[in-house]
Chains A and B, each alone.
Chain A
């Protein structure tokens, strides 16, 4: 089985998010990490590939910040990597899907896995748009896979309120992977060393046949800081004081205990 996994470098959850005078995100203090959902996707791909001597390619579209994630994917066990070198700020979700599709279309993949959404922008659409651009089937929110049978796979899709759907998906297909499906492995030292020798191909948009960035379907009208919302009544002081005050409030004022 040949599997590709899409990975995104997302703004680190601990990074300082601030706007400059023009309302743009201040880039100088941003740090990046791998999108958490993508790690579940990488792990699932490696497990599926292990069971039938398959091949896993990790791919990321973005600036040089994308490389760190690809290296991690290689260290976890992917065979090779593709870095589509571009500025994601020039692309909307359909543009990202278009460039990924251009890089993957002749790879002969049976499956392409992606995280359900990105931790920073939460778009939750690139996976399915990529499937459509490649002409693949797709299904989302996958929390369980099964061994493929006759070019198709039965997957477990998470719905709301604890419900699930069992869905049969024909290959080739894109699956978006939800957390809880597995526990991503930590790259071993051996894996990290081996990753350094693995092939990491860099492709620009021109190499993929694009004349500039693909046209946008969605345009940004700007970022704002949300108005402060009313906060809880915050109890101040050391742990002993706040704990005592909380118990007093819950007993005497709220009569909740």
Chain B
């Protein structure tokens, strides 16, 4: 019997998110029929954009579905899944999946595996998840007839584009008066002049710098190497530096020639924003910090000892 895996297509402003091809790749790793479910308004080109990556596109069309509204997308997908009973439904471990996947799980009485790094099929959907701050991997299996999972961005090889799959419009009724959350507006990111994304050298500091005053060391090294200062999220959250300096999934993505990570642990949400840099240098006093897995050069020592020595060395 063929095993059908659905992916929920993520899109904005009529553009399919590039992560959809990865999600299709994840679905192929455990299924032999892959369908993309697209919630959109009539006339959207998103179904056609998804078609090359999957075997079938199922479109749930309604004027109320143009922006993401949890309850309405859930209504459509749950309605369709109850009719067609896919083996699993996959979403990105991103704002869409964090919001929608547990809604689908609750309404389909399904087990949910989040932030999966790898999927397997062993009498049910098995997911590998990183736990305890990446020190352990947990293998978990969904025990319900339909499985839901969210996949970590970048963890799965993208499905190559092939022939465009057939696009079918599903007939599910959407009652848009039933939504208890409503999207009012979107705020786009502001990309300032001379922003960090254009810098050739980025010197980023993390919570390991201790406080706002001591964080000045990051700017000092940036000045010494002619680079731009950046930061991890806790630094921005605590107001040491403005938000446009935040690197990572909820900040900016940078690809400089040289990247310094000072007192940054290397959480996945940070790493996705810098791992493409040409040369990565990490200085962290914990020799087991995950950042060393991404760096090309590492120094397991105190930033307050090493960085002043680096600056002195550059100036001599």
Given contacts A137-B71, A162-B252, A217-B110, contact A128 B184 (CB under 8 A): no
- A120 in contact with B133 given A180-B237, A222-B139, A239-B302 (CB within 8 Å): yes
CA distance A220 to B134 in the complex (A): 17
> Once bound together, how far apart are the Cα atoms of A138 and B102, in whole Å?
10
Task: Evaluate contact between A141 and B114: CB separation under 8 angstroms.
Answer: no
Cβ-defined contact, A122 with B186, below 8 A: no
Chain B residues lying within 8 Å of A11, measured Cβ to Cβ, are: 132
Contacts of A221 in B (CB 8 A): 126, 139-141
Sample 12 A-B pairs with CB under 8 A, ordered by A number.
Answer: A125-B114, A137-B180, A157-B95, A216-B143, A218-B111, A218-B112, A223-B137, A226-B136, A232-B297, A235-B299, A243-B299, A256-B258
B contact residues vs A (CB 8 Å cutoff): 68, 70-71, 93-95, 98-99, 101-103, 105-107, 109-115, 126, 129-144, 180-190, 201, 225, 233-234, 236-239, 243-244, 246, 249-253, 257-258, 278-282, 287, 292-302, 305-307, 309-310, 312-314
- A170 beta carbon closer than 8 Å to chain B: yes
A21 at the interface (CB under 8 A from B): no
Please report the C-alpha to C-alpha distance between residue A176 and residue B250 in the assembled complex, in whole angstroms. 16
Tell yes or no: A242 within 8 A of B by CB: yes
Question: Within A216-257, which residues are at the interface with B (CB < 8 Å)?
Answer: 216-226, 229-235, 239-240, 242-244, 246-247, 249-250, 254, 256-257
The 8 lowest CB-CB distance pairs between A and B, nearest first, are A162-B189, A217-B111, A132-B106, A243-B309, A232-B298, A137-B180, A128-B102, A232-B295
A163:B106 contact, CB within 8 angstroms? no
- Number of A-B residue pairs having CB atoms within 8 Å of each other in the complex: 243
Nearest A residue (CB) for B122? A221
* Complex contact B138–A223 (CB within 8 A): yes
Instruction: Determine if A159 is an interface residue (Cβ-Cβ < 8 Å).
Output: yes
The reply to whether A218 and B281 contact each other, CB–CB distance below 8 Å, is: no
Number of interface residues of A (CB under 8 A): 77
Q: Mark A169-187, 1 if CB is under 8 A from B, else 0.
A: 1100100100110010000
Q: Are B106 and A128 in contact (CB under 8 A)?
A: yes
Q: Is there contact, CB below 8 Å, between B297 and A139?
A: no
**A49 cross-chain contacts in B, Cβ below 8 A:** none
> Is there an interface contact between B133 and A119, defined as CB atoms closer than 8 Å?
yes
Among A17, A160, A216, A240, the residue within 8 A (CB) of B250 is A160
From A167, A168, A242, give the contact of B301 (CB < 8 A).
A242
Which A residue's beta carbon lies closest to that of B282? A232
Tell me which residues across on chain B come within 8 A of A231, comparing CB atoms. Answer: 292-293, 298
A125 to B112, CA, bound (A): 8
Partner of A217, one of B142, B249, B292, B294: B142
* CA A161 to CA B252, docked complex, whole Å: 5
Question: Does A13 interact with chain B (Cβ within 8 Å)?
Answer: yes
A140 contacts B by Cβ under 8 Å:
yes
Q: Known interface pairs A221-B141, A223-B131. Does A94 touch B105 (Cβ–Cβ under 8 Å)?
A: yes
CA distance A163 to B239 in the complex (A): 18
Which residues of A in the span 25-53 have a Cβ within 8 Å of any Cβ on B? 25
A161 to B310, alpha carbons, bound, how many Å?
32
A239 — which chain B residues lie within 8 A by C-beta?
301-302, 305-306, 309
**Chain A residues near B180 (CB, 8 Å)?**
137, 169-170, 173
